[in-house]
Amino acid sequence: MASDKKLKKATKRGSAGRAARYFLEFPGDYISASRRRTLSRLRRSHRAAPLHLAGNIAGWICCALLCMTAVYSIFTTMSKPLYICVNIDGENVGAVASVEQVMSARDRLESDISEYTGETYTLGNKITFTLTAEIHTDILDSAGCYNALNSASGSGICEAVVLYADGVRIGSAGSEDELYSAMRSVCSEYEAYLSEADPSVTDAQIISALTFERVIMRQSELDGAAEIVARCTSGLAGTSESAQAMSADDENADIGYGTENENASPDIVLRYKIVRTEAYNEIVKATTERAEDDSVYIGRETITQTGEDGLDCVTYRIESIDGEESERVEISRSHIVEMLPTVISVGTGELPDAVPTGTYIWPITGDIWITSFYGEQREEFDGESFHYGIDIDCAEGTEVMAADGGTVIYSAT
C-alpha cells in the first residue's frame, strides 16, 4: 500500500518518468492493477511526446508559410498599378488611367462631329469599363481614346493637321510628324535634282515659314505624306538633259508646283537654302616683311628679297537663298605655288659723331676718277665762276661717304 501511495503521488504530479523510475527502483513493491495500467499509459505517452512536439512545430510552420504567402500576394497585388480596360460595344480597345480620360474624349468627339455636320450629335456606342492589374492591350492616351471612339462611331471624320508654307496651303495629314517626314522627302528629291545639274550641291533646306493648323475633316479628304511629296515635286519632273541645262542662278530659284487637289493652292512656292562646296584657284599677293639690321645706319632701308605672288586652291562652303549668295565660308586651302614675301632690311645702327677731325677720306672706295678739280671752271655748270670742289665720277647706286664730320649746308642735283 505504501508503494501504491508513492506511485499515485508521483502520477498526480504528472511525471510518468518518475513513476517509471520508481517502479524500476522498487520492483518488489506491491502495485495495484489499476496503477499498473496507469503506469503503462504514462510510459507510452512519454515515448510519443517527441512525435507530438514535432507535429506541433510542423503545423505552426505550415500556418506561418500560408500567412506569409497570403500577405505577399496581397502586397504584390496592391503594389501593381491598376488599369481600366475600355470596351466599346463589348470589344476591348485598350486601357486607360482614368474613366474621365475616356469621357473627355467622348465629349470632344461629339462636339467636333456636331460642329462639322452642323447638327447635334450624340455617340450611341455602349462604353463599359473593367478594372485589372494585368493588361494585354495598348495603353491609350487622350488622342488614342479619341481615335478609338471615332473609329467605333463610324462618323468618318478625324483630327487633321494642315500645313502652310509662307501662308500658302500645302496639304493635310493625320499628324505633324507625317508632314515633317513629307517635307524631308521633298528636300531630298530637290537636292538630288540639283545635284544632277551641279555635283557641287551638297544640301537643300526649306526655309519657307512652315505653320500648322489643327482642323476636323473627313478621313477621305486627307492628302497624306505621299500626295504632298508628289505635289511639291511635280515641278521637278524632267529629263537629265533639262537638269543639265539649268544655270547656276536657276538652280537656286524658288520652285513652284502645280496641283489638281481642290484643297491646295495652285501657286505653291517653296523657298530653299542651297548649300554647295566649290574650289577656286586664288592668287595670293606677295606681302612685305621688314627686318631690322644693325649693320645699316638708322634711316636706311634696303630690299633684300623681291616678293613673288603665290597661287592657292581654296574650297568654300557657299549658302544661297533665293538665288543670292548669303554666306561663304572657307573650309580648306592648299598651296599650288608658294608666295614669297618682299623683305626690306631696316637700318638700326647708330650714326657716328659729326665732329670734324680735319682729316679727309675719299668719299668712295675703289678706283677713283676725278672729272673736275678744285678751281677748274665748269662752263656747263658754273659758267665762269670759281669751282670750290672736285667732281668724282662713279656708277649709279655707289655708296658715298662723308669725307669728314660736319654739317651739310647745301645739297642739289
Residues of the chain scoring pLDDT < 50: 1-3, 7, 11, 13-17, 19-20, 22-30, 237-266
Predicted pLDDT of residue 96: 86
Burial status of residue 104 (CB atoms within 10 A of its CB: 0-12, 13-18, 19 or more): middle
Question: Residue 252: what pLDDT?
Answer: 38
Determine the Cα–Cα distance for residues 179 and 196; give it in Å rounded to an integer.
26
Residue 59 burial (CB count, 10 A): 10
pLDDT by residue (tens digit) across 235-287? 664 433 333 333 334 433 343 333 334 444 445 678 888 999 999 999 999 99
How many CA within 13 A on the CB side of residue 315? 7
- Listed in sequence order, the residues at least 6 apart from 74 whose beta carbon sits closer than 8 Å to its beta carbon are none
Residues 6+ apart with CB under 8 A from 30: 1, 3, 4
Name 40's Cβ contacts closer than 8 Å, sequence gap at least 6: none
Nearest C-alpha neighbor of 289 from the set 348, 339, 343, 338: 343
In sequence order, which ranges of 118-264 are alpha helices (DSSP H)? 142-153, 176-197, 224-232, 240-244
**Predicted local confidence at residue 113, as pLDDT:** 85
The Cα 42–Cα 20 span in angstroms is 8
**CB-count burial class (<10 Å; 0-12, 13-18, 19+) for 6:** middle
130-179 pLDDT, tens per residue?
Answer: 877 666 677 888 888 888 888 888 878 888 899 998 888 889 998 888 99
Q: Which of 265, 368, 349 is nearest to 301 (CA)?
A: 349
The Cα–Cα gap between 387 and 381 comes to: 9
Task: Bin 241: left if φ > 0, else alpha if -120 < ψ < 50, else beta.
Answer: alpha
What pLDDT, on the 0 to 100 scale, is given for residue 342? 95
The closest alpha carbon to 279, from 313, 324, 237, belongs to 313
Residue located via cell numbers 538652280? 251
